[in-house]
């Protein structure tokens, strides 16, 4: 599965054609969204092979249900389907805790973008922090993890997250707040394992 971003000239037109059964148009939608859907699944499930399967299942479900999409945010609608596919997989696994520590470091976990001005050491340190954040996400309660991924990684608005998760706006904000606090506390507990310049200072305890 390719993880490179794709551009669409007219998403609404592609959706309309896909709803009429045009597979070529739907394939363009898949190309546009396969990376974020895969990344969502990877962070929810913690295994690259399982995430691939969940992402594929999400697109199959999306194609079958496409005629039910009647406007609004298409990406929120698609993420809703992807999130449900991940939840189904977690149920099959008995909701065992996610552990991103078992991922193949370079080819499974999406890496942060680096600047040409960064030194190799700075890039390596950034990646180490990135992996620590990913491990923290893996230990987070499921609903909080989903909210943090959709907002802070995928960049959805609160309204889109509410649509994607089928919850009230206040619930979205509450889950996001609790998730961010959980991640902050996790990183504080793990700070000695981080590169020195990334070690968080717990000002409330100093």
Domain residues of the chain, as ranges? Answer: 9-96, 114-201
Higher per-residue pLDDT: 186 or 167: 167
Question: What is the pLDDT averaged over residues 169-190?
Answer: 91
- CATH 3.40.50.10150, domain 114-201, yes or no: no
Place of tokens 């993420």: 79
pLDDT band per the 50, 70, 90 thresholds, residue 95: low
- Quick check: 134 pLDDT over 50? yes
Helix (H, G, I), strand (E, B) or coil at 56: helix
Question: What is the pLDDT averaged over residues 127-156?
Answer: 86
Question: What is the pLDDT averaged over residues 9-28?
Answer: 92
pLDDT reported for residue 139: 85
CB of 72 closer than 8 Å to CB of 45 = no
pLDDT reported for residue 181: 94
Question: What is the pLDDT averaged over residues 145-166?
Answer: 94
- Quick check: 75 pLDDT over 90? yes
User: Which residues fall within 8 angstroms of residue 44, CB to CB, at 6 or more apart?
Assistant: 51, 54, 83, 86, 90, 98, 142, 145, 146, 149
pLDDT band per the 50, 70, 90 thresholds, residue 93: confident
CA atoms of 161 and 27, how far apart (whole Å): 24
pLDDT band per the 50, 70, 90 thresholds, residue 47: confident
CB of 112 closer than 8 Å to CB of 130 = yes
In Å, how far from its chain's centre is CA 178?
17
pLDDT band per the 50, 70, 90 thresholds, residue 18: very high
Percent of the chain at pLDDT > 70 equals 71
Q: What is the b/e burial string over 115-152, where b = at least 16 CB atoms within 10 angstroms of the residue's CB?
A: eeeeeeeeeebbbebebbbbbbbbebeebbbbbbbbbe
Question: What is the pLDDT averaged over residues 21-33?
Answer: 95
Q: pTM for this one?
A: 0.76
- CATH 1.10.3720.10, domain 9-96, yes or no: no
- Residue 184 has which token pair? 């902050």
- Quick check: 50 pLDDT over 80? yes
């Amino acid at each position: 599965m390719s993880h490179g971003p794709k551009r669409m000239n007219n998403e609404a037109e592609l959706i309309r054609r896909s709803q009429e059964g045009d597979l070529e148009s739907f394939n363009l939608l898949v190309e546009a969204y396969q990376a974020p859907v895969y990344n969502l699944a990877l962070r929810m499930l913690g295994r690259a092979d399982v995430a691939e399967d969940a992402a594929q299942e999400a697109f199959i479900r999306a194609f079958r249900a496409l005629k039910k999409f009647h406007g609004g945010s298409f990406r929120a609608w698609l993420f809703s389907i992807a999130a449900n596919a991940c939840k189904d997989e977690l149920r099959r696994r008995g909701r065992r805790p996610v552990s991103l520590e078992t991922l193949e470091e370079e080819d499974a976990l999406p890496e942060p973008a680096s600047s040409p001005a960064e030194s190799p050491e700075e890039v390596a340190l950034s990646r180490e922090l990135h992996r620590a954040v990913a491990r923290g996400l893996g230990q987070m309660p499921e609903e909080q993890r989903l909210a943090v991924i959709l907002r802070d990684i995928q960049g959805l608005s609160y309204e889109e997250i509410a649509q994607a998760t089928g919850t009230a706006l206040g619930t979205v904000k509450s889950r996001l707040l609790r998730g961010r606090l959980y991640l902050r506390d996790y990183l504080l507990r793990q700070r000695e394992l981080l590169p020195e310049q990334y070690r968080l200072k717990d000002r409330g305890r100093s």
